[in-house]
Each structure stands twice: as C-alpha cells, then as structure tokens.
Amino acid sequence: MPIRITGMNSGLDTESIITELVKAKSVKKDSLVKAKTKLEWKQDAWKELNAKVYGLYSKTLSNMRLESDYTKKTTKVSNESAATVITGATAVNGVQTLKINQLAKTGYLTGAELKDADDKKAQHKSTTKLTELGVKKGSELNLKVGDETTKIKISEDMTIGDFVSTLKKAGLNASFDEKNQRFFISAKESGAKADFSLTAKDTDGMNAMKFMGISAPLDKDEAARAEYEKYCTYDEETSKWVIDADKRREVIKETRKNRMSQFKDAMAEIDGVVESIKTYTTKYGDSFLDTDLADIEKELASKKEKLEKSVKLEEKEKDELRAEIEALETKVKDKKELSELVSQRDEMQAIIDANKEYLQVTEDGEVAFINEEAEKEFADVTREEEYAKSKFAVRVLNGEFTSAGATRIAGQDSEISLNGATFTAEGNTFEINGLTITAHAETEKEFTITTSDDTDGIYDMIKNFLKEYNELINEMDKLYNADSAKGYEPLTDEEKEAMSEKEVEKWEEKIKNALLRRDSTLNSVASAMKQVMMQGVKMEDGSQLYLSEFGIGTLGYFSAKDNEKNAYHIDGDPDDTNTMTNADKLKAAIANDPEKVVEFFSTLSKNLYEKLGGMMKKTEYSSSFTLYDDIAMKDEYNDYTSKISKQEQKITDYEDRYYKKFSAMETALAKLQSKESAVSGLFNF
C-alpha cells in the first residue's frame, strides 16, 4: 500500500473521510468473507464426522461382517510366570503339557578392565591407538558372525574407536566404556546361529585380544573353542589340553584338499574377476580404484540436501540436479561392487601365490602337482603349518592368552517340550498349531495350558461395536437437532475487537454447533443406519431375527436422554446403569448357540457395511468414501475466494478514485494559497 500524506492544505482528515466513504462498499465483501468462513467451518464439521463414519465402516464393520473374525479362543496357563500364550483361531481346544527346558540367550562378551603399567585402571579413550595398549602392528583376528567371516588386521593408526566401528560393520553391537575401561561386544540377535567368535591364528593375534581384554575363557565359547579343539584332546590326568596326533593328521588331509580346491577355483575365476574390474576402470578411469567411497557418498548427500532445501531452483536446474543425483547413486553402487571385486581378486591372487610353486592346473581343468619334488615340499609345508597351529591351539585352550576378568555368554537357542515333543527357536517365541508361546523362565516340571472357546471375546466384540455405533448416531442426532443460530454470522476483525475473547468464542461456537442443523445429507445417512439396525436380519433358515432377540434395544422415549433415543443398550451389561439389572440374554445366547449369534451379527454388520459403502461411492459432487459433497463444497469455496478477490479490487479502485479527487482539491488549494500570498506581497512595501 502506498504511503500518502494528505490534508496538508485543507486541514482535513482525508484518510478517515475516505475510510468512511469506502466502508459502505465493504459490506458486500464482508458478507462474502462471512459466507466463506461459514462454509469452511461446515467443511471441517463434515470432515470430522466423515472420518468417524469411515472408521466404523473400514475397521469395525469390515471385520465383523466376516464370521471367521468371531472365532475367538483363549488359553489359560497354570504357570503364568514361566510362559504366556496367545491363542489363534486354529488352535485346538483341550489341555496340553508344557515345559521350558532352556531360554534363548544372546552371545555377549564383557571385556576385562584395562590396566596401566602400575596395575591401576587405565585412562584410555576411543581415540587411543591399539598399539598403545601393547597390540602389535599387523596382528590379525578372525571375526565370525553367523556364517560370515571378517578378517581384522590391526594397523599402526587403528584406534579403539576404529576397532569398535569394524565390529559394528561386521554385524555386532560393540562399544568401549571409557569410565569402566572395558569393551562390550554382543550379537544383534539371540540364538546359536546369530552368535559370534573372535579367534586368532598366531601369538600376535592372541596377544592383541589379551591386551584389549577381549580374550575370554573358552569354556563358554563353543564357536571359538571349536577352531582350536580340532587339533587337541583334553587329558583328564593332567587337566590340560594336549595335541591329538590322529586329529592333526585329519586336519592336515583336509587342509591339503582345501588348498588344492581353492587353487583350482582361484585359477578358474580370477581372469573373470579382473575383466569385471576393467569394466569399472574403463567407465570411470583407473583412479576410481583409489577413490574413497565416503567421498562419493558425501557428495551424493550434499546434492540431495540441496534439492530438498533449495526453493529458488528453476525446474530445469532441479532436473539437472536429479540427473546428477542418479549418476552419483549409480557411482556409489559401482564403487561398492568394485571394492568387492578387488577383494575377491586379491584373495584369489594370495591363494595362487601361496600354491603356484607346488600346484598347476592341467589341460582337462584338474589340479596336479608340478612334479614329485613339489608334491613332497607341499606335504612338508602343510604338515609344518598345521603342526605349528596345533601347538598354538594347545596354548590357547590351556588359557595362556586369557584376559583375566573377561566373561563370555554363548548364544543359545531356546527349547521347550510341548506334550513331550521338543521344539527349538532362536528367540523365546514359538508358533505351534495356532498357539504363540513365549517362554519367560526355565522350569523343572511340566505345567498345563488349557485352550477353550472365548465367549467373552465374542460378547466384547459386539459390545464394542454397539458402543461405537451409539457414539456416532448420538452425535449425528445432536448435530441434526442442534439449536438454531439464526441471526449469528461469523465476525469481522472489527467486530471481534469490540468483544472479549470469551464472547467471540461463545459466538463462534453457537454457529459451529448449528452448521449441520436439519442437514438433508446428515438426515439421509443417520436414517439409513437406523433402518438397517431396526429391520433385523434374515437368517439362513428363513427366520427373521431382531436385536431384541438378544436383549438389545433402545430405551423408552421418555427414559432416554435428548439425542440418545436411538442408542442401543445390552440387558445385563454391568457398565450400563440403565439395563444392568436385566437378564443377560446376549451372554446366554453366546453360551447356548454361538453359531446363531455369529450369523446374526456378521450379517447385520455386512448389511450396514454395504449400506454405508453405497452411500460413500464417488459421484460428480463427492469423492470416494465420502458422505458429503466435498467436491461441490470445494468449488463453492474457490468461487467465494474469487468473488472476494474481485470485491477487494473494487474497494481499492474506490479508494484510489477518492484519493485522486482529494489530491486534486489539495493541489487547487495550494495554488490558491500561492496566489493569495503573491497578491499580499504586492501590498507589503
């Protein structure tokens, strides 16, 4: 709005005069704004009511129209502290015996407290290098998580934090507690299959684990112990582990067989892997081999953030940015695949280099020794390697490298006995023949679980349906029968300023309460719902049954409260003070003939579901699953917006016209005053 300085010559309050002159022209605009506001409130009222009707339709009625949803069973457990049971529809009625043999456990390693040179608690941080703990650079560990094995090589710069990150990337939960100076490592899931093991192939590796405090006793670490026990046997007389010559010979045979097989596979596959690597270096250049994946991901994240947050970009610029993002996403994927291929190539090349002096691949694709001397040397090498490993295994099993204070809990599966049959699971939950059994505590003795039909479940299902129906029909009646708000219209800003906040709130509430008063659409919906409930159900045997047959009905006209005359009450319902003293026909019917009850209420729900579904079909004036003319209302709302905009422009034009007239008057007065001053000046001599 332009800044105007008026009345300088006339001394008139021009703005106030123009405001009063234009006010008459604002009456029509104010009427349009009020009508638009009222329509907006009406839309909101319908949206809220429509959501409740749709909730009844899509949830409660959708479920209750199917007889299968009434098939409810319950199971009582004689030892509730040991197990809980959720009963499915397919569960068999009867008494069964259950025993919890063992609970599932998650593999957990609590590291020993790290000490300094004076045997006091250390002060290591996540940034402390592992070499500062005494770990030798180049030490290697083997981490096995489930079926996946990861080799961890300790570099000179690897910190405690780096080691923890490596464990996490391999699929474990891991942390270093600086306050307690301990590593905490665990599997992500319970069960033996999800367990992990940390092992080393040599003294440097085991010392690394010892210095980090993560070399726990092997008595409860079957996964790790198995790697060493394959060479050894336990001597009861000395209470020590010793080398088992027969076991070692078997391991040597297996090692030779595996090395020959690995050599054959590596020779057959390495050329293909190298060619696959070339496809990426051809696409991106040789430097792509050394490109850091983190740098590409950082650039990708930056581009995505720019696209999401920038509102000033033209559509063409956005398209270009999307293309760049797509290219970077492909690049990230390609880099990951390339890294995997390079690892495969290096692993294959290492196998080839370790065996090429002894082995060769013949023309028919089989592996053979280069000559007799190579065969003998190969046998000597593998024998010496495995002999060294067996001596190392004895040291490990006898606790030479154990970290004092480290503890280990092995991951284990849960096990239960149901009716004498044994079942195992990775967690503590079992799904057996319609029952979902969750074990909570191990038991020495069997206990019983008793499954039977849940008559209370059917009763509660019907009661909840009627409660939801009553709340909805009562609200509809209240809206339809609301007091008239004749003479009340939405307030303008000026009118609101003349009233208190409470007065404004009360005024608007009066209008909002009456928005759907005597609304024909509302009346049609409510009448249709009432009709379905009153007309009853035609049963398969040809009989016609009504809600009253089950002790369900409305209260008398004079007994019911206003706008609650169409609500249904269940005789004998302990929560209903109106009917709680009556005989409970519904519970009796469920107990005596549950199939009849289910047939009646599933059919009733289906009838009401179909009636509401028909009324909520898409039309020229309304959207799908909508009871009111939302499309027509939206068009009307937009029409009001357009008319208000035009009216505001007219008012602006009127203001400009008046300002021009008053401006012309001010100009004329200025000229007149100028002439008067000039004439006066002629006589001043």
Structure tokens at 127: 């940034």
Whether 92 and 71 have beta carbons less than 8 Å apart is answered as no
CA distance 20 to 28: 15
DSSP result, 611-660: HHHHHTS--SSS-TT-SS-HHHHHHHHHHHHHHHHHHHHHHHHHHHHHHH
**359-386: per-residue pLDDT in tens?**
999 988 899 999 999 999 999 999 998 9
- Please provide residue 220's backbone torsions phi and psi, each rounded to the nearest 5 degrees: -115, 20
Torsion of CA 589, 594, 596, 599, to 10 degrees: 130
CA distance 17 to 666: 14
Structure tokens at 489: 């219209």
Whether 110 and 184 have beta carbons less than 8 Å apart is answered as yes
Helix (H) or strand (E) holding 369: strand 367-369
Output the pLDDT for position 318. 83
**520-566: per-residue pLDDT in tens?**
999 999 999 999 999 999 999 999 999 999 999 999 888 899 999 99
**256-282: per-residue pLDDT in tens?**
999 999 999 999 999 999 999 999 999
CA distance 669 to 9: 6
Q: CA triplet 381, 387, 388: central angle to 5 degrees?
A: 90
Whether 122 and 181 have beta carbons less than 8 Å apart is answered as yes
CA distance 583 to 588: 9
DSSP class of 684: -
Whether 187 and 106 have beta carbons less than 8 Å apart is answered as yes
What is the 3-class SS of 525-589, one letter each residue? HHHHHHHHHHHCEECCCCCEECHHHHCEECCCCCCCCCCCCCCCEECCCCCCCCCCCCCCHHHHH
Whether 203 and 392 have beta carbons less than 8 Å apart is answered as yes
pLDDT band at 684 (very low <50, low <70, confident <90, very high): low
Q: Estimate to the nearest angstrom the gap between the alpha carbon of 282 and the chain centroid.
A: 41
- Please provide residue 12's backbone torsions phi and psi, each rounded to the nearest 5 degrees: -90, 150
pLDDT band at 629 (very low <50, low <70, confident <90, very high): confident
Query: Among 476, 617, 523, 445, which Cα is nearest to 53's?
Result: 476
What one-letter code names the amino acid at 621? Y
Output the pLDDT for position 219. 83
**Average pLDDT in the 514-519 region?**
93
pLDDT band at 344 (very low <50, low <70, confident <90, very high): very high
The alpha helices in 481-514, defined as continuous H runs, are: 493-497, 501-513
- Is 655's pLDDT higher than 80? no
Output the pLDDT for position 50. 92
- Please provide residue 562's backbone torsions phi and psi, each rounded to the nearest 5 degrees: -60, 140
Output the pLDDT for position 85. 96
Partners of residue 432 on adjacent β-strands: 435
Whether 360 and 369 have beta carbons less than 8 Å apart is answered as yes
Output the pLDDT for position 588. 93
3-state secondary structure of 492: coil
Output the pLDDT for position 1. 46
pLDDT band at 183 (very low <50, low <70, confident <90, very high): very high
Output the pLDDT for position 3. 45
Say which residues have a Cβ less than 8 Å from residue 399's Cβ, sequence separation at least 6: 217, 218
- Is 9's pLDDT higher than 60? no
% of residues, the chain, pLDDT over 90: 68
Q: Sheet holding 148-153: strands in order across?
A: 148-153, 140-145, 196-199
Of 2-11, 54-63, 410-419, which gets the smallest average pLDDT? 2-11
Query: Among 310, 334, 331, which Cα is nearest to 321's?
Result: 310
Output the pLDDT for position 683. 60
% of residues, the chain, pLDDT over 70: 92
Whether 198 and 214 have beta carbons less than 8 Å apart is answered as yes
CA distance 244 to 248: 6
Structure tokens at 194: 């999800």
CA distance 371 to 417: 60
Torsion of CA 482, 488, 493, 496, to 10 degrees: -80
What value does the mean pLDDT of the chain take? 89
**Average pLDDT in the 129-148 region?**
93
Output the pLDDT for position 69. 81
From the number of C-beta atoms within 10 Å of its C-beta (0-12, 13-18, 19+), residue 107 rates as buried
Q: What Cα–Cα distance (Å) separates residue 388 from each residue in 145, 202, 260, 327, 382?
A: 26, 9, 20, 51, 10
3-state secondary structure of 420: coil
When computed from its CA atoms, the radius of gyration of the chain, rounded to whole angstroms, is: 43
- Please provide residue 434's backbone torsions phi and psi, each rounded to the nearest 5 degrees: 90, -5
Output the pLDDT for position 283. 92
How many CB atoms are located within 10 Å of the residue 451 CB? Answer: 21
**Average pLDDT in the 206-219 region?**
93
- Please provide residue 109's backbone torsions phi and psi, each rounded to the nearest 5 degrees: -125, 120
pLDDT band at 313 (very low <50, low <70, confident <90, very high): confident
Going by their DSSP bridges, the two strands 240-243 and 537-538 should be labelled as unpaired
Q: Terminus-to-terminus CA distance in the chain, angstroms? A: 48
Residue that wins the pLDDT comparison between 344 and 308: 344
- Is 2's pLDDT higher than 60? no
- Is 678's pLDDT higher than 80? no
